[in-house]
Amino acid sequence: MRYFAMIDGERVGPLELSQLVEAGVRPSTYVWCKDMADWEKAEDVADICRYFRGHIHDLMHPSAPQPEPPRDCAAGRMEEMMEQVPPRFRPYIKNPDDILGPPAGDTRDYSVPPRSMLFPAIVATLLCFPPTGLVAIFLSVKSSKAWKHGDRKDAHEVADAARMWMGITFFMGFIVYAFMLRHLV
């Protein structure tokens, strides 16, 4: 993304993020890019703040690897994603999160153990479809073991996989029972 800056009353730019420091942009300098509605202070633009924080860190820790500057503003990313959506579906997209997905970062609470899926997995295995039910049982046991060993994030991820296999087991069971009823009638 290229930015324009107001330095000493004159518009300077377009500038890449890496060029802002050399151009004299400070936190109180007003900047603008094509995805912004109006000029804003550099300290209020997330991409610029992130870049400056990384730049200051690099100055204080010269041996640290150089981070890449962020590629785009969120609006620029939205434009890129919209280009990948077929034109006939674009009018139906009202929320950018429909394309961009949920915000980055994991908000799950890993201090609480995941819900045990062992008993439901056993019941699903016996009543629905044993081949996939055995996978759900295996993953349920694996999740419990991961929690006991202190692998909290892994325990939650494996529990999610166990839930998925439980759904597959129920679905396959319905298909098998429907097929059997169809041939019995």
The tens digit of pLDDT for each residue in 42-68 reads 777 777 777 776 666 565 666 655 555
Task: Report how many domains make up the chain.
Answer: 2
Spatial contact of 47 and 35, defined as CB atoms under 8 Å apart: no
Structural domain of 143: 118-184
Last residue of a domain, one of 11, 29, 60: 60
pLDDT for 110: 77
- Within a domain: residue 113? no
Residue 112: inside a domain, yes or no?
no
Helix/strand/coil percent split, the chain, to 5: 60, 10, 35
Give the separation between CA 29 and CA 36, rounded to whole angstroms: 15
Residue 23 covered by a domain: yes
Strand 3-7 and strand 10-15: the pairing is: antiparallel
Q: Does residue 122 form part of some domain? A: yes
**In whole angstroms, what is the distance from residue 120 CA to residue 162 CA?**
10
Whether the CA torsion 137, 139, 143, 146 is positive or negative: it is: positive
Specify the pLDDT at position 77. 60
Domain closes at, from 28, 45, 60: 60
- Give tens-digit pLDDT for 97-123: 555 555 556 667 778 888 888 999 999
What tokens appear for 174 in the block? 């319905």
CA–CA distances in Å: residue 82 to residues 26, 75, 85, 94, 171: 33, 10, 5, 11, 34
Instruction: Give the chain's residues under pLDDT 70.
Output: 53-82, 85, 89-90, 92-107
pLDDT of res. 61: 62
What's the pLDDT score for residue 97?
56
Q: Is 16 part of a structural domain of the chain?
A: yes
67 in a domain, yes or no? no
- The last residue of one of the domains, among 60, 79, 99, is 60
Among 1, 28, 30, 26, CA closest to 14: 1
User: Is position 66 within any domain?
Assistant: no
C-alpha closest to that of 66 among 78, 54, 84: 54
Does the residue 92 lie in any domain? no
Residue 180 in tokens: 């059997």
Of 145, 137, 135, 146, nearest to 117 (Cα)? 137
